[in-house]
């Protein structure tokens, strides 16, 4: 009993010390949300150069409170349910469409945006947000194939259909995402990645099931780590993952098949919960400044949609065909639409059945 009481007193003391430390740190960094000069940024973890946040605070006086999420859907659930006051967040394309449809976003006042002209017009006015009423592009990328030249000949793997080659038995790591996996099968069958035809989807599922003998694992964010460690010869994943993996293993290469693939965007939007709109516009303008955008692109390693920023990047990066594909390839890329509840479920059920078909 004495020990129990002592333990409790000990814990309470530590808790008090921690409270003190927290208070001290908060007053030092000024992350007190109650103050008016603040921006509540809701972003993926480590998805902005922290130096830029410091610079933003210095230039504009707005302190940034940075909260993170790990998936579009998780972010959506939180914003939809309310109780939060995020001023800006960074969803992907299809999610913007979904949030827009459900009136979770505030339209952007273009007269307050100073950097709109810096963006590459190829990445504006996309199907998920016509005329960029609600969003500004943050990063973009593709879906493609990483291969390891120690095990694979470059010429053997240039197209999606090559994945089905019997040579690659048990060598492919596939991204754990219904949309992406089915998109590959749909593209090889010349169908739209947004198809709402039962026959197309069934055919795609059948085709995907035929890929199973070649599939080594179905995983997500870990692909970059596994590829960097030579765990598999081939992986199907996003360009963002790829650039991370390539920077750690010189044997890796990334291809975007010329017959078509997915083009994805992460755009900045203002959710309806925004309480500090002036700060939000200041941040949007700050991030569309070419110098800042270029610094961010170098830090993250993704492709920037800001054409003036791209010019400022080192030559090796901006001329890299793997991550800045030529116009010809870009033309064949397709953006995901939000499929709506019913079809999202159908795609997911098809993918789940595919996953369960493993031996």
Partner 1 sequence: MPKSKQQRQLFYIIPYGIWLVLFVIAPLILLLFQSLTTQNGHFTLQNYATYFASGTYLLMTFNSVWYAFLITIITLVISYPMAYLLNRLKQKHFWLLLVILPTWINLLLKTYAFIGLLSKTGTVNNFIGLMGIAPQQLLFSNWSFLLVAAYIEIPFMILPIFNSLAEINPRLAQASRDLGANQWQTLRRVILPLSMPGIKAGIQAVFIPSLSLFMITRLIGGNRVITLGTAIEEHFLVTQNWRLGSTIGVILIVAMVITMVLTRERARKSSRNRG
Partner 2 sequence: MVKKIKWANGYLWLVFILLYLPIFFLIVYSFNAGDVMQGWEGFSFKHYTELFADTRIIEIVVSTLLIALLSSLIASIIGTAGALYIYNLKYALAKNIFLSLNNILLVSPDVIIGASFLILFTVMGFALGFTSVLLSHIAFSIPIVVLMVLPRLQEMNQSLVAAAKDLGANNWQMLSRVILPVISPGILAGFFMAFTYSLDDFAVTFFVTGNGFTTLSVEIYSRARQGVSLEINALSAMMFMVSLLLVLAYYIISTRSGKNKKRGTRLVLPASEGL
Residues 214-233 that bind partner 2 (CB under 8 A): 220-222, 224-225, 228-229
- Three-state DSSP state, 357: coil
What minimum distance in Å lies between the beta carbon of 25 and partner 1? 21
Q: How many residues line the site for partner 1 (CB under 8 A)? A: 28
- Three-state DSSP state, 356: helix
Q: How many helices (H) and strands (E) does the chain have?
A: 14, 10
Q: Does 348 bind partner 1 (CB under 8 A)?
A: yes
CB 234 within 8 A of CB 171: yes
Q: How far apart are CA 346 and CA 91, in angstroms?
A: 22
- Three-state secondary structure string covering 311-323: HHCCHHHHCCCCC
Which of 36, 58, 74, 319 is in the footprint of partner 2 by CB under 8 A? 74
Q: Does 283 bind partner 2 (CB under 8 A)?
A: no
List phi, psi (to 5°) of 87: -90, -35
Cβ proximity to partner 2: between 39 and 284 the closer is 39
Which of 84, 127, 165, 358 is in the footprint of partner 2 by CB under 8 A? 84
224 binds, options partner 2, partner 1, none, Cβ within 5 to 8 A by partner type: partner 2
Which of 125, 229, 247, 326 is in the footprint of partner 1 by CB under 8 A? 229
Binding mask 163-202 for partner 1 (x = CB under 8 A): ----------x--x-x------------------------
Specify the pairing of strand 135-148 against strand 172-175: unpaired
Return the beta strands (E) in the chain as ranges.
38-44, 63-69, 88-89, 135-148, 172-175, 215-219, 234-238, 252-255, 261-269, 333-334
E strand or H helix that includes residue 84:
none
Cβ proximity to partner 2: between 27 and 127 the closer is 27
Q: How far apart are CA 196 and CA 180, in angstroms?
A: 15
Q: Does 102 bind partner 2 (CB under 8 A)?
A: no
Which of 27, 35, 37, 82 is in the footprint of partner 2 by CB under 8 A? 82
- Three-state DSSP state, 158: coil
What minimum distance in Å lies between the beta carbon of 29 and partner 2? 5
Binding mask 226-265 for partner 2 (x = CB under 8 A): --xx----------x---x---x-----------------
CB 349 within 8 A of CB 341: no
Q: Does 58 bind partner 2 (CB under 8 A)?
A: no
Interface with partner 2 (CB under 8 A): 1, 3-4, 7-8, 11-12, 14-15, 18-19, 21-22, 25-26, 28-29, 31, 33, 40, 44-47, 50, 65-70, 74, 77-78, 81-85, 220-222, 224-225, 228-229, 240, 244, 248, 300
């Amino acid at each position: 009993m004495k020990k129990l009481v002592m333990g409790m007193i000990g814990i309470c003391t530590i808790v008090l010390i921690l409270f003190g430390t927290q208070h001290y740190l908060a007053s030092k960094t000024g992350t007190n949300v109650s103050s008016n000069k603040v921006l509540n940024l809701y972003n993926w973890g480590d998805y902005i150069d922290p130096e830029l946040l410091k610079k933003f605070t210095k230039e504009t006086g707005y302190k940034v409170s940075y909260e993170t999420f790990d998936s579009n859907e998780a972010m959506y659930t939180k914003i939809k349910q309310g109780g939060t006051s995020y001023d800006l967040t960074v969803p992907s394309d299809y999610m913007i469409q979904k949030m827009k449809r459900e009136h979770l976003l505030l339209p952007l006042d273009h007269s307050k945006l100073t950097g709109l002209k810096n963006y590459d017009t190829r990445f504006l006015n996309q199907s998920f947000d016509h005329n960029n009423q609600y969003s500004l592009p943050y990063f973009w990328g593709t879906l493609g194939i990483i291969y390891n030249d120690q095990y694979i000949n470059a010429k053997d793997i240039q197209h999606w259909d090559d994945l089905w080659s019997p040579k690659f038995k048990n060598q492919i790591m596939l991204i754990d995402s219904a949309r992406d996996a089915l998109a590959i099968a749909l593209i090889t069958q010349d169908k739209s990645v947004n198809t709402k035809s039962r026959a197309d989807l069934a055919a795609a599922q059948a085709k995907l099931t035929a890929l199973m003998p070649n599939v080594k694992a179905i995983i997500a964010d870990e692909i970059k780590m596994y590829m960097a460690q030579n765990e598999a010869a081939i992986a199907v994943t996003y360009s963002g993952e790829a650039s991370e993996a390539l920077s750690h293993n010189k044997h890796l290469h990334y291809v975007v098949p010329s017959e078509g693939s997915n083009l994805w965007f992460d755009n900045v939007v203002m959710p309806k919960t925004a309480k500090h709109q002036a700060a939000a516009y200041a941040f949007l303008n700050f991030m569309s400044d070419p110098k800042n955008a270029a610094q961010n692109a170098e830090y993250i390693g993704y492709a920037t949609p800001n054409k003036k920023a791209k010019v400022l990047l080192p030559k090796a990066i901006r001329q890299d065909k793997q991550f800045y594909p030529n116009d010809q390839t870009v033309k064949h890329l397709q953006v995901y639409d939000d499929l709506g509840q019913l079809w999202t479920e159908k795609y997911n059920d098809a993918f789940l059945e595919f996953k369960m078909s493993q031996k």
